[in-house]
Amino acid sequence: MLNRGVFLDRDGTIIEEVGYLSRVDQFRFIDGAAKAVKSLNASGLKVVIVTNQAGVARGYLSETALQEIHCRMADMLRAQSARLDAIYYCPHHPIEGVGPYRMECNCRKPKPGMLDRAARELNIDLSQSFVVGDKITDLETGYAVGCKTVLVRTGYGLGSEEQLAGQPFQPDYIADDVLDASRWILEQNT
């Protein structure tokens, strides 16, 4: 049997947007984020972070520093009885960056590589899953693979909401924040 999943963008969706987060001490959860993850966990949904991290390509942080940030995030969630089933990130950028990180790839949102990988590795049915994010690229990623999409108004979300009129698709729901998004998802999951 396939699992249902919720793919959460990281910056501006579950943690505060700070530009290029490069140090653990810059990390702060958006209010209600841990509660949202915990409620999704309790429903049996797989909870997965999918995040573009071009700061690695641009030399703002190393993959080791990124792993430290992700470990801290997972530890802080566990302390609140919440958990992530996986974290996927894209360290690439197509035109900026150094060495092997400067490249066109299939994992950088809005391309679906991270979602496709998660579906394979975690046995997730993308057509029965959700993508939550604060940018149009998050919505495009979900739309490309048949997920339901939720735009949050945190991070860049308010600006993204203003851009929706020109898009060929609309989110399935617009949420004030990730906690509101989780409530809507759970209503769909019954």
Rounded to whole angstroms, how far apart are CA atoms 121 and 26? 30
CA 19 to each of CA 22, 53, 155: distance values in angstroms, whole numbers, following the listed order: 9, 11, 10
**What sign does the CA torsion over 158, 159, 162, 168 have?**
negative
Active-site residue set: 9, 11
Q: Look up residue 5 and give its amino acid.
A: G
Rounded to whole angstroms, how far apart are CA atoms 166 and 181? 23
Q: Look up residue 136 and give its amino acid.
A: I
